[in-house]
Amino acid sequence: MSGPPPTDALHSAVLAQIQHVAAQPVPAPHGLAARTVIRLRHLRAGDDGPVVIDRTERGRTQVSGRVAASLAVGAAAGLPDLLAVTGSAGPAQIRLQVSLRYGVDGPATLAAARESIRTALTGTLGPDVPTVVLDLVDVHRGG
Amino acid sequence: MTSAGLRPSSTRPAPHRSDRARAGAAGSVAILDPMAGVDAEVGQPNAQARESALVAAAKRGDAAAFDHLVHLHSPTMYRTAFRIVGSGDADDVVQEAWISTWHRIADFREEARLSTYLYRVTVNTALMQLRRARRMHPLPVDETLPDDSERQPEPSMLRTLSADALHEAVRGLPVEQRLAVVLRDFEGLAYAEAAAILDISVPALKSRLHRGRNNLAHTMSDWK
């Protein structure tokens, strides 16, 4: 018998190709570690993590919950019937606590506000906007 | 006798120098290094001791030490994730793996090396990513492809694949075979370490490698 057993010879040929490719670097995306560190800082600060994905770089840069919540609060602040807004965000949801102007139709105003906020977020972050939940916490008589 | 005869289990292939070099370079990013100065006093870098100190600091909640580990190990984790899930999801896998590690670093027992631990977290996170993708695509490639692991083309029939084509072929393997090939054949881990990461026996690992290499050989012989 001459030469290696067929399986060993076959696997050696496969391994030779693998090792050739394995010796070539696989560059990580630019700034991956730095982005990870930023995300960890948000996490340590009590932020629950990414809720939104935009399309700016390869398509999947993650935006932290804090950023998403602040964008949503900013969008809500521009709506005339919402008088006070605070917000937070979890992995899949933005939650805003809102106060309404007295006398408005509550359900209809909240539904319209939710759509306005989603539209505003979509314009900034792209189509993958997480669920927006509005909690009515107060009604203001004046203002 | 199959794959075991190709490379002694006690021999670890040479590390990928370019990646190690890049990992070291990444570690020099302007992050507070609690071990700054120690290496200079010793005169020679003591990577293991340095890493142990960083791990110990991270376990005490030292964010800067943990961030330093992120810069140090992310290239290896990305490389591994890339070969399992592809470039589209690999960076997400790495980020999720680090977040998981941050939550659990206090429980890390240094019986295993940190790199082994991080391989395991990366593999598990990649598997979760694959499961999520599977839910979105009910007919996964893994289960629709015929298993060609028992067919054996002649070595002379193999074509030389480009790196992209070979990675694509690896990602076409059934997941269990893919993980074995990535950890053992690409990363060059010892059988025992790769088996420990996958939580399987060494014989089981060798069996998966055998089938994975056969499937790759089949792909190489049919590549168009």
Q: Which helix (H) or strand (E) holds A13?
A: helix A6-22
Cβ proximity of A130 and A50 under 8 Å: no
B213 touches chain A (CB under 8 A): yes
**Widest distance between CA atoms in chain B:** 59
Pairwise CB contact (< 8 Å): A8 & B78: no
- C-beta atoms of A40 and B67 within 8 A: yes
How far does B76 lie from chain A, in Å, by closest CA?
Answer: 9
Taking contacts as CB-CB distances below 8 angstroms, the residues of chain B near A33 are 26, 29, 70-71, 74-75
- How far apart CA B32 and CA B25 sit, in angstroms, is 15
Find the mean pLDDT for residues B20-34.
Answer: 31
Of B105 and A67, the one with more pLDDT: B105
DSSP-assigned letters across all residues of chain B: --GGGTS-TTPPPPP-HHHHHHHHHHTTSS---TTTTHHHHHSS--HHHHHHHHHHHHHTT-HHHHHHHHHHHHHHHHHHHHHHH-HHHHHHHHHHHHHHHHHHGGG--TTS-HHHHHHHHHHHHHHHHHHHHHHHSSS-HHHHS---TT----GGGPPPPPHHHHHHHHHTS-HHHHHHIIIIIIS---HHHHHHHHTS-HHHHHHHHHHHHHHHHHHHHH--
Chain A contact for B216, CB < 8 A? yes
Taking CA–CA distances from B165, the nearest residue in chain A reads A21
Mean pLDDT, chain B, whole residue set:
76
Q: Is B96 on the interface with A (CB under 8 A)?
A: no
Q: What residues in A contact B187, CB-CB < 8 Å?
A: 22
Residues of chain B with C-beta less than 8 angstroms from the C-beta of A14: 158, 213, 216-217, 220
Which range, of A62-76, B25-39, B208-222, averages the lowest pLDDT? Answer: B25-39
Partners of B60 on chain A (C-beta within 8 Å) are none
Asked if this assembly's ipTM is beyond 0.90, the reply is no
A19 in reach of chain B (CB within 8 A)? yes
> Chain B within 8 Å of A55 (Cβ-Cβ)?
no
A15 interfacial to chain B (CB closer than 8 Å): yes
pLDDT band with cut points at 50, 70 and 90 for residue B126: very high
Query: In this structure, is the dihedral angle defined by the CA atoms of residues B4, B190, B204 and B161, taken in order, positive or negative?
Result: negative
pLDDT computed for residue B118 by the predictor? 96
A24 CB neighbours in chain B (<8 A) are 18, 163
Q: Which residue of A has its CA nearest to B83?
A: A26
Query: Does the beta-carbon distance from B95 to A9 stay under 8 Å?
Result: no
| Rounded CA separation A98/A136 (Å) | 5
Q: What is the pLDDT of residues B87-99, one digit of tens each?
A: 878 888 998 899 8
CA distance linking residue A58 with residue A70, whole number of Å: 24
Of B154, B184, B157, nearest in space to B170 by CA: B184
**Facing residues of A140 across strands?**
A101
pLDDT beneath 70, residues of chain A = 1-5, 42, 45-66, 90-92, 126-128, 141-143
- Give me the percent of chain B exceeding a pLDDT of 90: 50
Q: Distance between CA A124 and CA A71 in Å, rounded?
A: 9
Distance CA A119, CA A86 (A): 18
* A19: closest CA of chain B, how far (Å): 6
Cα B122 to Cα B101: distance, rounded to the nearest angstrom: 10
Do residues B216 and A15 touch, judged by C-beta distance below 8 A? no
Q: Is B37 on the interface with A (CB under 8 A)?
A: no
Q: What are phi and psi of A86, to 5 degrees?
A: -125, 160
Q: Where are the alpha helices (DSSP H) in A23-135?
A: 32-44, 65-77, 106-125
CB contact under 8 A, A12 and B102: no
Subunit contact A14:B220, Cβ cutoff 8 A: yes
Q: What are A139's strand-pairing partners? A: A100
Q: Is the pLDDT of residue B128 over 80?
A: yes
Among A8, A11, A24, the strongest candidate for a mutation testing the B interface, having the largest count of B CBs within 10 A, is A11
Res. B56 pLDDT band, cuts 50 70 90: very high
Between CA A98 and CA A90 the distance in angstroms is: 17
